[in-house]
């Protein structure tokens, strides 16, 4: 069909279809774009760009709060303005050539030039110089950002971050300078103005650790000890997220960085893991946590992770090829703003929804797929609502 | 360029014309071999990256038998010589020579494969399988794919030999033999690289517990 | 032997389905490639639609995360391996022999084999939808997420084995075009007289020849891990998942140039034609293409800046990556230089070509910003990168390929596409593309990671996502305009004549569509822009050329006969690969089916090699058995 010889000399009458009035549309569009409209459009585009670069967005790379992110942004900003300048020049030249040299009726064949050595050398050499200049600066910044400045030596805070599908574990090998080890999850607490050295590891697949306002990302690769450092200039909450695709719930693997004053930080360290005062309801919840709920198999609350309890409960659990996945440490849960890997605010209602059927909130999570209490026909917990309420009371008293 | 005005310039070339004068099929074989270089390159790179990274034994030093493989390597290299002779015989239309040298090439190639089968089996008996450790994984994959290449070459040469037996090989088919020869020599050369890296150099590697002879993975550049 | 000879007799039918199945005509194969690739382009486009609809509003529940992951995996895999690459292949097949003055490619049956293998590979991957085991680890399938413990279904197997088959197809085609271009140019066409599209095809084919074996090895290793329990990328056995990334990107970066160089070649044909001026700085254009092809091997780790290779490695790859902007920039300047002082006619192909340059500039510039590794630390794996790749692959490759379709459609079908609809097509795509992808720059810089199936509304990404999703419909309308245009004009379009654009290439000297033998007489090439030189001299001497080369009786010119062995061999390759999806509980041979595939392929190759010699003397092609 496609390759049949064309109708040659004796071609049948061509089928004509109605002319699409494209030329009229183009003409009126062209007229519209002249003068004031073009200016207005330019201003609109520029203001859209300014609105679109939103430094206040929670994970905006523009709203930096520390030297690492700042240097990275500075580099990007300079690059961006160079890019804008090149963009305007080159697109301008393209547009100018297209308009200026459009074919006019009766125009003879244009001059047949084949090139211009000087011109071609110029536009090879100038970009090369420009790029080498930017390249040298980039490499300097790269080495500068590789390690914390010498001035911070001896005063850094070490944190080991381990990526799990799909949450973050934070371990402070020496939280207070006296060798106190703290393990927590999904909310990193650091003192303001102090360089934090992060050791990045992964328990399963590759994840990536990223707090846009504090530092660019570095991947968390199993078998490898990557490092990253950052320093927060101001107190407040900063948002981070896994940036390497890591499976079903990749979108919901987030975390918070709470930048505290040194005093607040010290107070948190000192209070961590103190046996909480439990109300009667909370004590009932503790029993569910260690007993019927089986939570303790994967989740640790300091003081309650008795090996005997864990071993006793182990049998009731599904063991997949990956083995039992460790769950977030719960010791200071009630001090956190969010749970389920930075996903939702920590409050009674949300906890109830989550504990009733975690799959509704975070599809694919390992608690829903592995914990015995969720292996029901509809995925809802086999615990009674009373047990869930008690569990909530217990969890909310873990401070 | 002279051509009649108002006409399209044309030329009369016969069907054997090629721009470079090279035969298409020969060029194809060279192109294929360049591609195959990268194929073996990637496999060899994998082996090198994982040298000394096995978590459990047996390690190369435990089971690699250099003298044995030296013999099979020698036989394979000799087969390249026989291949050259086979081509020469084809060119001078020496029917007896064609059959003799092709047969010699095939026998030597088959000997090499025989050694390889023996070696694979011996390793298996000593507890090294493809999923035992990284050494087993990379060793069997690399040498296995090389063995497959040799086997394919044997099939090819056997078909040529059958043609030769029927008297269908002669100077007119010189190219057919030459291209098979190109492939055969390539496979031999690859083996020289593999033998050097896996046996002469890597054959003394031990595992991490038995004292590392080399640094950790090449992929972990100093940071 | 009587029966054997009978079996081996070559098929003779010249029309009907069977003639397409056994065809070895590069023009028919080109059409098969083009139509198939376009169907996958539409499919991948619909997958993109699912992605955009899911992300249009925050906390959307249109699709589940697993379906979303399947969509972006298949969207990218299909666009790259089953749409853009084969669409380029369609032009290689149809145009290259015409552009170098040859009657066919060097190995017509290998060419047919390449198409059927491509089709089978694409169908194999898409068969995963039928059995509900869709690949979902991204088009890069990073180990160790793609290993058995974390992807226990068969999705990754479909992906790896399907790509393996597609790789065979690409390699077969690449071997063929390397030989064809080096060896089958008409007398007089020296290397520096080759049209730029031919040059870029040569560079692309060489890249394919060298890059595909690397991913082949990577895929073999991944498949072995999954099927035989080896530990190439399995951390439990000491494997290093970063090795996969190296293998993938050593292939993957040249692959980027495999996707963009052919459209660059197409655009380099179109801009001179419609500017009525020779390509500005032809030698520099050739060398910059070669330099890009070579440097493309030295930049792969810029995909891995955040992997933790250390500052030394990152510095090296920062500099090499930034430097690759130089030859790319030179190309852009030379295209503008070609237009400068020309007499530009805004036919649809030219609009697409200018659109290509305009959009590629944006993609090139954003590329420089993440060539810089400290700045990339904030951009890697965000929507900023999504914006970048769509500016180079959609604004670049796809626009270039559409330019090619509009440019060569009259040569392929003998009819012109409709200009009004064409312009509508262009403007809808141009505007739609910018509405869809430009906001993604800001989304990325505002911290939105890639490959997330949902986001909550307090992150400030809502309206930009909505705009991007709205743009999808404009793009979609553009594609619809193209389809309408295609179906109207393919049968009823205005007759084109042999040379509708007054173009410089050899392919325009012959009738449209070209006769089966292409050139009745082998042309003598008189220079770069051959046909312009010939036409202008003839006009100056008062004998203007207005006709195509005269039509001769095709029976008088011997062409390679059709053959069924290519499709048999390709089918064997399919069985060989797909067999690894079916595991038997047998002690030694867990996978017997691939052996059957191997036997089928072997029979195919034997039949191929010993196919009876063509009855007459032959011309040009090596296909003489």
Task: Give C78's DSSP letter.
Answer: I
C490 and C511 belong to one structural domain: no
Q: What is the pLDDT of residue C24?
A: 92
Identify whether the C-beta of residue B49 lies closer than 8 Å to the C-beta of residue B198: no
Boundaries of every domain in chain A: 52-95+118-272, 280-396
Q: Using CB atoms, list chains with 3+ pairs below 8 Å to chain A.
A: B, C
Q: What is the nearest CA distance from B8 to chain C, expressed in angstroms?
A: 7
**Sheet with strand A157-164: strands edge to edge:** A182-185, A167-172, A157-164, A196-202, A226-230
pLDDT of residue A185: 92
Q: Using 50, 70 and 90 to split pLDDT, how confident is the model at C623?
A: very low
Which residue's entry shows tokens 């194929």? B39
In this complex, the chains that touch B, judged by 3 or more CB pairs closer than 8 A, are A, C
Segment A308-345, tens digit of pLDDT:
555 545 544 444 443 466 788 888 898 999 998 989 99
Please tell me the distance in Å from C618's CA to the nearest CA on chain B.
6
pLDDT at B218 exceeding the cut of 70: no
Token duo for residue C335:
């295209």
Question: Model confidence at B161, in pLDDT bands (50, 70, 90)?
Answer: very high
Q: What per-residue confidence (pLDDT) applies to B119?
A: 95
Instruction: List, for residues B2-47, the tens digit of each pLDDT value.
Output: 577 778 888 888 777 888 889 999 999 999 999 999 999 999 999 9
Pair (C324, C412) in one structural domain: yes
Identify which of A93, A138, A204 has the shortest CB distance to residue C150.
A204
pLDDT at C573 over 50: yes
Answer whether the bond into residue C513 is a cis peptide, omega within 30°: yes
The architecture (CATH level 2) of A280-396 comes to Sandwich (2.60)
Q: Is B65 on the interface with C (CB under 8 A)?
A: no
C370 CB within 8 Å of a chain A CB: no
- The sign one gets for the Cα dihedral A363, A364, A369, A375 is positive
Interchain CB contact of B28 with C (< 8 Å): yes
- Nearest residue in B to C230, CA atom: B131
pLDDT of residue A9: 40
Domains assigned to chain B: 25-204 (1.20.120.80)
Clarify whether residues C415 and C509 are in a common domain.
no
One domain for residues C323 and C466: yes
Pair (C371, C482) in one structural domain: yes
What distance in Å separates residue B121's CA from the closest CA in chain C? 14
Cα separation, A367 vs C413, in Å, equals 60
Q: A319 burial class (0-12, 13-18, 19+ CB within 10 angstroms)?
A: exposed
**Mean pLDDT across the stretch A299-305?**
70
Tell me: pLDDT of A11 over 70. Answer: no
Please indicate if any CB of chain A lies within 8 Å of the CB of B222.
no
Do C464 and C530 lie in one domain? The reply is no
What is the interface size between B and C, counted as CB pairs within 8 Å?
Answer: 172
CA distance C341 to A116: 13
> C530 and C460 share a domain?
no
With contacts defined as CB-CB under 8 Å, which chain A residues touch B223?
A: 146, 227
The rounded distance, in Å, linking the Cα atoms of C618 and A111 is: 44
Residue-level pLDDT at B221: 44
Task: Give chain B positions within 8 Å (CB) of A146.
Answer: 223
Interface probe with C: pick from A71, A76, A166, A214, most Cβ of C within 10 Å = A76
Q: Is pLDDT of C620 > 90?
A: no
Q: Do B220 and A227 touch (CB under 8 A)?
A: no
| DSSP conformational letter for C143 | T
Interface test with C, best of A26, A217, A239, A364 (most C CBs within 10 A): A217
Q: Are residues C355 and C317 in the same domain?
A: yes
What's residue A18's pLDDT? 52
The reply to whether residue A87 touches residue C241, judged by beta carbons under 8 angstroms, is no
Topology agreement, domain A52-95+118-272 and domain A280-396 = yes
At residue A37, the pLDDT reads: 73
Residues of B in contact with A142 (CB under 8 A): none
The answer to whether B20 contacts C178, with C-beta atoms less than 8 Å apart, is no
C323 shares a domain with C463: yes
The whole-angstrom distance between C103's CA and the closest CA on chain A is 16
Q: Is residue C280 domain-resident?
A: yes
- Is residue C390 within 8 Å of C398, Cβ to Cβ? no
Q: Is the ipTM of this complex over 0.90?
A: yes
Choose from A251, A321, A343 for mutation: most chain C CBs within 10 A: A251
For residue B219, the chain C residues in CB contact (below 8 A) are 240, 242-243, 246
Looking at residue B213, its pLDDT comes to 42
Chain A touched by C144 (CB under 8 Å): yes
Same domain, C424 and C376: yes
With a cut of 80, say whether residue A304 has pLDDT above it.
no
Instruction: Tell me if C253 sits within 8 A of C141, measured CB to CB.
Output: no
E strand or H helix that includes residue B112? helix B95-125
* Rounded Cα distance, C271 and C248, in Å: 35
Q: Chain B: give the shortest CA distance to residue A218, in Å.
A: 13
Residues contacting residue B172 through CB under 8 Å, at least 6 positions apart: none
Q: How far is Cα A379 from Cα A367, in angstroms, rounded to an integer?
A: 11
Q: Which of C321, C334, C375, C454 to mutate to test the interface with A (most CBs of A within 10 A)?
A: C375
Number of domains in chain C: 2
Q: Which residues of A touch B216 (CB under 8 A)?
A: none
Residue C584 is given by DSSP the state -
Report the distance separating Cα A182 and Cα A163, nearest Å.
16
What's domain A52-95+118-272's architecture?
Sandwich (2.60)
Say whether residue B74 is in contact with chain C using an 8 A CB cutoff.
no
Question: With contact defined as beta carbons under 8 Å apart, do C262 and C318 qualify?
Answer: no
Q: Which one of A12, A44, A61, A214 makes the best mutation probe of the C interface by having the most chain C beta carbons within 10 Å?
A: A61
Query: Under an 8 A CB cutoff, do C138 and A142 touch?
Result: no
C420/B216 Cα distance (integer angstroms): 64
Residue-wise pLDDT tens digits, A39-52 = 787 788 777 777 78
DSSP code of C231? -
- Say if residue C530 is in the same domain as residue C422: no
**With pLDDT > 90 as the criterion, what percentage of chain C qualifies?**
84
The residue-averaged pLDDT of C580-602 equals 91
SS3 letters across chain A: CCCCCCCCCCCCCCCCCCCCCHHHHHHHHHHHCCCHHHHHHHHHHHHHHHHHCCCCCCCCCCCCCCHHHHHHHHHHHHHHHHHHHHHHHHHHHHHHHHHHCECCCCCCCCCCCCCCHHHHHHHHHHHHHHHHHHHHHHHHHHHHCCCCCHHHCCCCEEEEEEEECCEEEEEECCCCCCCCCEEEECEEEEECCCCEEEEEEECCCCEEEEECCCEEEEEECCCCCEEEEECCCCCEEEEEECCCCCCCCHHHCEEEEEEECHHHHHHHHHHCCCCCCCCHHHHHHHHHHHCCCCHHHCCCCCCCCCHHHHHHHHCCCCCCCCCCCCCCCCCCHHHCCEECCCCEECCHHHHHHHHHCHHHHCCCCHHHHHCHHHCCCCCCCCCCHHHHHHHHHHHHCCC
For residue C212, which residues of chain B lie inside 8 Å, CB to CB? 35
Average pLDDT over residues C340-362: 96
In this prediction, residues B46-59 reach a mean pLDDT of 88
pLDDT band at C618 (very low <50, low <70, confident <90, very high): very low
Lowest-pLDDT range of A156-165, A295-304, C413-422, C453-462: A295-304
Q: How far is B12 from chain C (nearest CA, A)?
A: 7
For residue C513, what are the domain limits? 503-552
β A207-211/A157-164 pair status? unpaired
Residue B9 to residue C534, Cβ atoms within 8 A: yes
More confident residue, A171 or A6: A171
Please determine, for residue A15, whether its predicted confidence score (pLDDT) is greater than 80. no
User: C578-598: string of b/e by CB count within 10 Å (b at 16+)?
Assistant: bbbbeeeeeeeeeeebbeebe
**Confidence grade of residue C218 (pLDDT, cut at 50, 70, 90):** very high
Answer yes or no: is C150 within a domain: no
Taking residues C87-104, report their average pLDDT: 95
Number of other residues whose CB lies within 10 A of the CB of residue A282: 21
Asked if residue C66 is part of any domain, the answer here is: no
The tens digit of pLDDT for each residue in A223-266 reads 889 999 999 999 999 999 999 999 999 999 999 999 999 999 99
C564 DSSP 8-state letter: S
Distances (CA, A) of A34 to A29, A30, A41, C432: 9, 7, 10, 22
Whether residues C507 and C486 share a domain: the answer is no
């Amino acid at each position: 069909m496609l390759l049949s010889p064309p109708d040659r000399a004796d071609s049948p009458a061509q089928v004509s279809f109605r002319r699409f009035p494209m030329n009229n549309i183009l003409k009126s569009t062209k007229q519209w774009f002249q003068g004031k409209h073009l200016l207005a459009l330019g201003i609109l585009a520029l203001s859209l760009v300014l609105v679109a670069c939103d430094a206040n967005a929670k994970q905006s790379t523009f709203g930096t709060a520390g030297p690492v992110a700042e240097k990275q942004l500075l580099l990007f900003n300079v690059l961006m303005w160079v890019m804008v300048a090149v963009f305007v020049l080159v697109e301008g030249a393209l547009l100018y050539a297209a308009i200026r040299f459009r074919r006019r009726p009766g125009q003879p064949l244009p001059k047949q030039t084949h090139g211009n050595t000087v011109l071609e050398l110029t536009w090879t050499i100038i970009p090369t110089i420009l790029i080498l200049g930017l390249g040298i600066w980039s490499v300097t910044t790269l080495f500068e950002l590789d390690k914390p400045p010498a001035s911070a030596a001896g005063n850094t805070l070490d944190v080991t971050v381990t990526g799990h599908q799909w949450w973050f574990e934070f371990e402070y090998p020496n939280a207070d300078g006296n060798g106190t080890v703290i393990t927590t999850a999904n909310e990193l607490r650091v003192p303001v103005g102090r360089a934090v050295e992060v050791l990045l590891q992964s328990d399963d697949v590759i994840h990536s650790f990223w707090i846009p306002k504090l530092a660019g990302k570095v991947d968390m690769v199993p078998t490898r000890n990557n490092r990253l450092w950052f320093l927060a200039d101001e107190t407040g909450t900063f948002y981070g997220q896994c940036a390497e695709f890591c499976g079903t719930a990749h979108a919901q693997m987030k975390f918070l960085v709470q930048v505290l004053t040194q005093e607040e930080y010290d107070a948190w360290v000192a209070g961590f893991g103190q046996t909480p005062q439990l109300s009667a309801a909370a004590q009932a919840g503790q029993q569910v946590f260690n007993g019927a709920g089986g939570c303790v198999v994967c989740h640790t609350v300091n003081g309650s992770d008795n090996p005997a309890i864990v071993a006793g409960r182990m049998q009731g659990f599904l063991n997949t090829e990956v083995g039992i996945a460790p769950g977030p440490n719960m010791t200071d849960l009630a001090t956190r703003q969010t749970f389920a890997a930075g996903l939702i605010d920590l409050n009674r209602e949300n906890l109830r929804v989550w504990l009733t059927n975690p799959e509704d909130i975070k599809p694919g999570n390992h608690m829903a797929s592995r914990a015995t209490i969720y292996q029901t026909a509809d995925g809802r917990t086999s615990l009674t609502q009373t047990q869930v309420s008690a569990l909530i009371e217990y969890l909310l008293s873990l401070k | 360029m002279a051509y009649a005005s108002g006409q399209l310039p044309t030329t009369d070339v016969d069907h054997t014309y090629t721009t470079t004068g090279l035969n298409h099929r020969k060029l194809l074989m060279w192109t294929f071999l360049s591609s195959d270089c990268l194929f073996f390159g990637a496999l060899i790179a994998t082996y090198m990256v994982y040298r000394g990274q096995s978590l459990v034994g047996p390690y190369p030093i435990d089971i690699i038998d250099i003298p044995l493989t030296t013999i099979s390597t020698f036989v394979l290299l000799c087969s390249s010589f026989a291949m050259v002779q086979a081509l020469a015989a084809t060119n001078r239309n020496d029917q007896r020579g064609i059959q003799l040298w092709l047969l010699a090439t095939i026998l030597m190639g088959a000997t090499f494969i025989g050694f390889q089968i023996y070696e694979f089996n011996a390793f298996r008996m000593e507890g090294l399988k493809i999923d035992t450790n990284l050494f087993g994984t990379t060793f069997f994959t690399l040498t296995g794919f090389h063995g497959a290449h040799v086997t394919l070459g044997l099939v090819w040469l056997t078909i040529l030999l059958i043609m030769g037996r029927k008297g269908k090989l002669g100077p007119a088919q010189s190219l057919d033999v030459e291209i098979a020869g190109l492939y055969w020599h390539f496979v031999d050369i690859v083996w020289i690289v593999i033998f050097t890296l896996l046996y002469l150099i890597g054959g003394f590697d031990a595992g991490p517990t038995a004292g590392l002879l080399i640094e950790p993975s090449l992929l972990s550049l100093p940071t | 032997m009587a029966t054997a000879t009978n079996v081996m007799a070559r098929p003779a039918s010249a029309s009907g389905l069977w003639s397409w199945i056994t065809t070895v005509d590069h023009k028919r194969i080109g059409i098969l490639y083009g139509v198939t690739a376009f169907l996958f382009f539409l499919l991948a486009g619909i997958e993109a639609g699912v992605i955009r609809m899911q992300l249009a509003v925050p906390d959307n529940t249109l699709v589940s995360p697993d379906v979303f992951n399947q969509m972006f995996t298949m969207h990218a895999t299909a666009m790259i391996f089953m749409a853009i690459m084969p669409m380029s292949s369609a032009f290689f097949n149809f145009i290259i022999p015409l552009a170098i003055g040859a009657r066919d490619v060097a190995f017509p049956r290998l060419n047919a084999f390449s198409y059927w293998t491509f089709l089978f590979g694409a169908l194999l991957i898409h068969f995963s939808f039928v059995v509900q085991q869709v690949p979902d680890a991204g088009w890069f399938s990073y180990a160790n997420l793609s290993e058995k413990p974390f992807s226990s279904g068969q999705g990754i197997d479909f992906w790896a084995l399907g790509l393996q088959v597609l790789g065979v197809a690409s390699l077969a085609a690449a071997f063929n075009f390397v030989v064809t271009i080096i060896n089958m140019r008409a007398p007089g066409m020296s290397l520096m007289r080759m049209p730029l599209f031919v040059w870029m095809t040569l560079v692309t084919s060489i890249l394919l020849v060298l890059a595909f074996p690397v991913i082949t090895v990577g895929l073999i290793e991944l498949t072995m891990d999954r099927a035989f329990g080896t530990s190439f990328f399995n951390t439990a056995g000491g494997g290093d998942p970063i090795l996969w990334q190296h293998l993938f990107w050593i292939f993957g970066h040249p692959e980027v140039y495999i996707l963009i160089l052919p459209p660059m070649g197409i655009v380099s044909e179109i801009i001179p034609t419609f500017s009525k001026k020779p390509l500005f700085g032809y030698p520099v254009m050739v060398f910059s293409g070669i330099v890009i092809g070579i440097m493309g091997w030295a930049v792969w780790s810029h995909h891995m800046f955040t992997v933790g290779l250390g500052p030394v490695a990152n510095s090296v790859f920062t500099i090499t990556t930034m430097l690759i902007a130089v030859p790319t920039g030179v190309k852009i300047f030379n295209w503008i230089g070609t237009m400068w002082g020309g007499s530009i006619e805004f036919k649809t192909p030219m609009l697409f070509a200018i659109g290509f340059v305009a959009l590629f500039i944006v993609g090139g510039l954003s590329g420089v910003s993440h060539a810089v590794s400290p700045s990339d630390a904030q951009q890697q794996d965000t929507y900023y990168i999504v914006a970048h790749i769509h500016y180079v692959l959609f604004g670049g490759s796809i626009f270039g390929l559409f330019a090619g379709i509009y440019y060569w459609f009259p040569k392929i079908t003998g009819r012109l596409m409709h200009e009004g609809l064409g312009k509508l097509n262009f403007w809808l795509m141009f505007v739609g593309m910018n509405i869809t992808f430009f906001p993604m720059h800001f989304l990325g810089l505002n911290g939105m990671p890639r490959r997330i199936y949902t986001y909550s509304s307090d992150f400030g990404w809502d309206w930009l996502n909505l705009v991007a999703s709205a743009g999808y419909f404009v793009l979609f309308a553009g594609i619809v305009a193209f389809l309408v245009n295609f179906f109207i004009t393919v049968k009823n379009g205005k007759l084109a004549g042999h040379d509708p654009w007054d173009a410089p290439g050899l392919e325009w000297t012959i009738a449209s569509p070209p006769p089966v033998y292409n050139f009745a007489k082998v042309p003598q090439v008189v220079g770069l822009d051959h046909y312009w030189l010939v036409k202008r001299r003839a006009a100056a001497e008062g004998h203007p050329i207005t006709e195509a080369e005269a039509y001769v009786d095709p029976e008088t010119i011997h062409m390679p006969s059709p053959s069924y062995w290519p499709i048999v061999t390709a089918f064997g390759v399919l069985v060989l690969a797909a067999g690894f999806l079916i595991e038997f509980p047998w002690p030694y041979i867990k996978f017997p089916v691939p052996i059957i595939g191997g036997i089928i392929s072997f029979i195919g190759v034997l039949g191929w090699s010993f196919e009876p010699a063509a009855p007459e003397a032959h011309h040009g092609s090596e296909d003489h058995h």
